[in-house]
Amino acid sequence: MTRIAIVKKRECNPAGCGGYLCAKVCPVNRKGEDCIKPSPINQKAQIDEALCIGCGICPNRCPFQAIDIINLPEELQKEPIHRYGQNGFALYSLPTPMFGKVVGVLGVNGIGKSTAIKIVAGVLKPNLGRTDGSEAGYDELISFFKGTEAQNFFEKVRDGKITTSYKPQTVDSIPKQFSGTVKELLSKADQKGMLDKVVELLELEKIVNSDIKSISGGELQRVAIAATVLKKANLYIFDEPTSYLDIKQRIKVSKFIRGLADAETAVLVIEHDMIILDYITDLVHIMYGKEGGFGVVSMPKTTRMGINIFLDGYLKEENMRFRDYPIKFAAKPPVQKAGKDVQCGWSGVQKKLGNFSLSADKGEVYKNDVIGLVGENGIGKTSFVKILADVTKPDAGKIDGKVTVSYKPQYLEGGDDLVMTALGDALDKYDAQIIRPLNIKPLLMKKLNELSGGELQRVAIALCLSRKADLYLLDEPSAYLDVEQRIRVSKIIADVMEHKGTSALVVDHDLIFIDYLSKKLLVFEGEPAVHGSVAGPFDMQEGMNKFLTGLEITMRREEEILRPRINKPGSQKDREQRSANKLYYA
Ligand code: SF4
Ligand code: SF4
């Protein structure tokens, strides 16, 4: 098969297009054959891929952009491992768990990473591309993967030698499925009798008696990871284990997950934070394809090579260019480049909020600045910005310059409005600068509460940046976005600030994103929920040095692509950088 036709069932609206417009314009239909006809199941358009000649007329004429005709790479001659029905998404190949190793999966959103991992976890039975509803048996899968690592894996699955424990991507649904305390939930999962140890390792002691419905996103994530590892298994799968976690927690959780892999245990991880993926995995599979159309899993690569290949956009062995531009990093920390005019400033700020106290010495934000805010969760980042915006009055100290703030919160809520209605004027005004680069157009006719996490994030960023304000605060804009989207968002933020002559403060825990986006850093230190102090803004070198000191890690730039990497503790680079007190890039 060299071509697949995708019909997006939600978008296809035969009554709205005047009655199967696609079939009317299809040259094959016009010759009297049934290339496009109504599906007997749901009356949506159904395309016969064997008859389609790939003329490209129907995708252009469908008023709802419901059709995609995809010419598959020539190298991809195999049948898919799974297809979501006729004219549905197709997945090619699978990632392979390996005993004693942590294997990662790296790719953009919408190309089947979660589907692939669900098949490996045994949650979804693959159909080898058959659309008659029949599932593939293990013997079929074994012969499908003959001669590869996956063959061995599925032989073990068939022989009942694999027990899987799986942490799904979204943890937000746990409180809807379970009532009770954290301890009650973990006790149910605890087949190993290690509840107390895991609670201690993941620092859950303070919330162990809390109701599961009352804990934060980051706490929920750690509870979900704890429940996963408390189950007896020899394959542990983690789908995005670091969402909602701050960098300190990310590193802790990474070490914990790494420690699970041994001669009898395999670990598989999907993760968009490349620093963490780099830190946690031995090998990675790259996934590429077309969002909503198809996804292909590459052969495994060593992590360093795999991430570099992903950033480069070209798989040499497979002779496959999957992005037409490479993602590049700068050789030096970004040079301080801001406007001359001060946007706002502060001095001697003190604020008590319940049991939490915040202090901020002295600092200024210039017009055109993009400042990264780094620090643990619960250390006063949002409270500080509220003080700058005059939403909260400080108990002591002074704020210079009155600023209006446009705010994108960390947790997003979708209402009943259409995306088109929510964005209003911004659609025309910022078409080239925000709407197109964030690929908002395909979402316009959807309601906010129908969007996925990543889609809602893109809309929320567009909304925040398109409002009129002096200061833009974006709280965790990278959450649910893939690596390419994160890089794109950082460019959009810089571009909008430059264009408007305004400034942005960006709270995020993905250090590659912060490194890519920020001109300066504000560093928050202290003890979460007890006290926080704000220092800076610093230039990147100084700010990161201060921040990394608190985290007890050092970072270097990878030699080829210059992307930031965490040094192995105690390695030569780590020791050299520590003695030179240059924790961020030697
Ligand atoms: Fe109409 Fe588009 Fe559906 Fe074809 S795919 S029936 S043109 S809405
Ligand atoms: Fe018909 Fe295929 Fe052309 Fe669409 S792309 S109009 S299905 S031949």
* Mean local confidence (pLDDT), 209-235: 90
For residues 325-336, give the mean pLDDT: 68
SS3 140: helix
Query: Is residue 412 pLDDT above 80, yes or no?
Result: no
Greater confidence (275 vs 216) lies with 275
Residue 381, pLDDT score: 86
Top mutation candidate among 33, 53, 62, 71 for ligand 2, by most atoms within 8 Å of CB: 53
Q: How far apart are CA 208 and CA 185, in angstroms?
A: 10
Nearest-ligand number for the alpha carbon of 20: 1
Q: What is the tens place of the pLDDT at every residue in 126-178?
A: 999 888 888 888 889 999 888 888 898 889 988 889 999 999 887 877 888 88
Report helix, strand and coil shares of the chain as percent, to nearest 5: 35, 25, 45
Question: What pLDDT digit, counting tens, does each position of 20-61 carry?
Answer: 999 999 999 999 999 999 998 889 999 998 899 989 999 999
pTM of the model as a whole: 0.84
Among 80-89, 256-265, 564-573, which stretch is predicted with the lowest mean pLDDT?
564-573
Whether the predicted pLDDT of 282 surpasses 60: yes
Whether pLDDT at 586 is above 60: no
Write down the pLDDT at residue 35. 93
Chain mean pLDDT for the chain? 88
Torsion sign across C-alpha atoms 147, 150, 154, 160: positive
The alpha carbons of the chain give a radius of gyration, in whole angstroms, of: 25
- Specify the residue with its C-alpha closest to ligand 1, atom 4: 22
Q: What is the mean pLDDT of residues 359-364?
A: 91
pLDDT digits (tens, 9 = 90+) for 77-121: 778 999 998 888 999 989 999 999 999 999 888 888 889 988 988
Q: Residue 75 — very low, low, confident or very high, per pLDDT cuts 50/70/90?
A: low
What's residue 74's pLDDT? 67
Query: Which residue in the block uniquely carries the two structure tokens 């899993």?
Result: 297
Ligand nearest to the Cα of 42, by number: 1
3-state SS, residue 397: strand
The arithmetic mean of pLDDT across residues 245-258, rounded, is 89
How far apart are the C-alpha atoms of 215 and 411, rounded to whole Å? Answer: 13
- Pocket perturbation via mutation, ligand 1, pick of 8, 26, 29, 67 by most ligand atoms within 8 A of CB: 67
Which residue's C-alpha comes closest to atom 6 of ligand 2? 26
Ligand 2 centre and the CA of 113: distance in Å? 29
Contacts of 408 (CB under 8 A, 6+ apart): 460, 461, 463, 464, 472, 473, 474, 475, 477
Considering the chain, tell me which residue range(s) the CATH 3.30.70 domain(s) occupy.
3-65
b/e 229-242 (16+ beta carbons within 10 angstroms → b):
bbbebbbbbbbbbb
Q: Is pLDDT of 195 > 90?
A: yes
Give yes or no for residue 334 having a pLDDT over 70: no
pLDDT at 337 over 70: no
Q: What is the mean pLDDT of residues 510-517?
A: 87
Please give the CATH number for the structural domain made up of 344-539. Answer: 3.40.50.300
115 CA → ligand 1 middle, Å: 27
Express as a percent the part of the chain with pLDDT over 70.
Answer: 98
pLDDT of residue 339: 54
| pLDDT, mean of residues 235-256 | 90
Three-state SS for 376? coil
Best mutation site among 33, 39, 69, 71 for ligand 2, i.e. most ligand atoms within 8 A of its Cβ? 69
Pick the residue whose CA is nearest to atom 2 on ligand 1. Answer: 62
User: Rounded to an integer, what distance in angstroms lies between the CA atom of residue 535 and that of residue 452?
Assistant: 36
So what's the pLDDT on residue 333?
A: 52
pLDDT computed for residue 476 by the predictor: 87
**Is the pLDDT reported for residue 243 higher than 90?**
no
Give the number of the atom of ligand 2 that is nearest the alpha carbon of residue 25: 6
Residue of 574, 429, 87 whose CA lies nearest to 565: 574
Residue nearest to atom 3 of ligand 1 (CA): 12
CATH 3.30.70 fits 3-65, yes or no: yes
Q: Which ligand is nearest to the CA of 65?
A: 1
Dihedral angle over CA of 449, 452, 457, 458, nearest 10: -100
Indicate which atom in ligand 1 lies nearest the CA of residue 16. 8
